[in-house]
Amino acid sequence: MFAMDSPTAPDAGRTDVQLDGTVMGQVFGPEGLGANARVRHTLEPGVSLEVDGGVFHVTNSPEAGDTFDRNGYTGRVGVLLHTPSRHWALGGGLGGGVSNTAGNWGAADIHGMVSGAHELIRPMLSVAFGYSAPFGDQTFTVHYSGEDNESGVATLQLPRNAFLQTSVGLELGPRDRAVLLGASLLRFWLFEDSVLSGPDAGEQQRDDAYFALGIGLRLGLN
């Protein structure tokens, strides 16, 4: 989800791969590291297929008693429609993720991208909107500690949500071997509570925001 988006795609009949590393988090909330790999193959001028796979690891220091798996794994397949110049593109995709702790989920997205025209330095802007929902009603528990040495256990779930991701960045170098630098703001609107019991149950907001910084490398394969 946090992969850096560029409208650059390979020539017709060719393939490229993009590798991203990301640091993400929420002020006074979850923090994590992510990695993503994306393969794009252009079927004909203006039409590319893309396949993504990624992993996310929560890095917050665990509370005493927390032993759950802190990794989640994501995947996605999509179609990208781009102009002959490959400075503009529109795309959409279907995907989801799996987590031993939080359960499994599916997602759909649409997104638009634009970049500069320079051969070596191209600013990028992308906006994506999507919907995500868990499969089933799996819950999980975490330990917490608060003010006045208050501690306990909270029960959480993955909620159905809509999301909006806005990203800005730079694409440096030739299009077939470029370095990408970017920052993203990811906003969620929840359709149900994510905390079922614990200190925030019944008082939580139905929106959330995460920030991400990333670096990537894209290489043409043929």
pLDDT at site 74: 96
pLDDT confidence bin for 110, thresholds 50/70/90: very high
pLDDT at site 136: 87
User: Residue 217 belongs to what H/E stretch?
Assistant: strand 207-220
pLDDT confidence bin for 188, thresholds 50/70/90: very high
Question: Which residue, chain included where needed, has tokens 């299009």?
Answer: 175
pLDDT confidence bin for 135, thresholds 50/70/90: very high
pLDDT mean across residues, the chain: 87
List pLDDT tens digits, range 36-62. Answer: 999 999 999 999 999 999 999 888 766
The partner residues of 80 in beta bridges, in order of sequence, read 48, 91
The partner residues of 143 in beta bridges, in order of sequence, read 153
Residue 147, SS3?
A: helix
In 3D space, the residue among 16, 20, 51 whose CA is nearest the CA of residue 35 turns out to be 20
Specify the range with the lowest mean pLDDT, choosing from 20-29, 60-69, 129-138. Answer: 60-69
pLDDT at site 154: 77
Domains defined for the chain, CATH in brackets? 15-220 (2.40.128.100)
d(C-alpha 66, C-alpha 94), whole Å: 32
Q: What is the pTM of this model?
A: 0.85
Residue 90, SS3?
A: strand
Region 181-201 average pLDDT: 85
List pLDDT tens digits, range 154-184. Answer: 788 899 999 999 999 999 999 899 999 999 9
pLDDT at site 62: 61
Tell me: pLDDT of 31 over 90.
no
DSSP 10: P
Better-scored residue on pLDDT, 196 or 210 = 210
